[in-house]
Amino acid sequence: MKKIISIIVSATIFLMSGCSSVHEPVTTIPLYTETTTVGDVVGTIEGDRYISHAGGIAYKLTGDYRAEWFDTDKRNILMNDYTGIDIAGPCFVWEKRATLKIDYVLDEQLKEDATKEHTLEEWNKTLKYPAKSIEYVKDYKMDGKSCFAIKTVLDRDGYDVSTLQIYYFQDNGLLVLITITARSFKEIDKIVKNLQVA
């Protein structure tokens, strides 16, 4: 749970410029541990769209953003040989506006811990900034699919920071963890509208 909470803390406070809906289908490939690489799961940017065919998720990129990629040296490792508990996907940053971070969780215990409710007091013990409110949403809708989500408002030096974490469980065993941080949930909703899942 600490690793998942640290994703919230590490997200920078930003708001995103306006987004339009996207209707291109997400094309997927099967996840075979003998042939699928970490890079296949992490995905790529294809034109104006981020897509992970193995992860079954896509995002229509708009506005002036930068993409940050982590652990690029691990991209060629086969899933059979990968020993991590998660795979760090990209982080899209809109300067002083919003961040969108996509990660792929492999560890069963982390998956279970991710969906356990914690009190505000327990969250505040692990967060860098105090949480003003936490809401657990058992039936959050993303691209027409139901997901578990956590909405959090943090107090960052007197300013409210809104964070949404979406837990999307794939049939192939991956948990796609999407973390969006912005100044308001209205701005976060604009980002969610551009997310697609298979």
Residue 21: pLDDT band by 50, 70, 90 thresholds? very low
pTM for the whole thing? Answer: 0.83
Q: What Cα–Cα distance (Å) separates residue 161 from each residue in 47, 50, 51, 98, 110?
A: 31, 25, 27, 10, 25
CA angle centred on 73, ends 176 and 111, rounded to 5°: 25
53: closest CA among 180, 198, 175?
198
pLDDT at site 125: 72
CA angle centred on 38, ends 35 and 39, rounded to 5°: 100
More confident residue, 126 or 154: 154
pLDDT at site 175: 92
Query: CB–CB of 55/170 below 8 Å?
Result: yes
Q: Which helix (H) or strand (E) holds 147?
A: strand 145-156
Indicate if the pLDDT at residue 12 is higher than 70.
Answer: no
Phi-psi region of 135 (alpha: psi -120 to 50; beta: other; left: phi over 0): beta
For residues 179-183, give the mean pLDDT: 94
Residue 90: pLDDT band by 50, 70, 90 thresholds? very high
Give the lowest-confidence range in 2-16, 57-71, 74-88: 2-16
107: closest CA among 197, 175, 29?
175
Task: Give the whole-angstrom CA distance, residue 138 versus residue 25.
Answer: 25
Paired tokens of 104: 């792929």
- Bridge partners (DSSP) listed for residue 185: none
**What tens digit of pLDDT does each residue of 155-177 get?**
888 889 999 999 999 888 899 99
C-alpha of 38 from chain center: 17
Indicate if the pLDDT at residue 20 is higher than 60.
Answer: no
DSSP string, 174-193: -EEEEEEEES-HHHHHHHHT
pLDDT at site 81: 97
Indicate if the pLDDT at residue 76 is higher than 60.
Answer: yes
pLDDT at site 27: 86
Task: Give the whole-angstrom CA distance, residue 134 versus residue 112.
Answer: 18
**What tens digit of pLDDT does each residue of 22-65 get?**
468 888 889 999 999 999 999 999 999 999 999 999 999 999 99
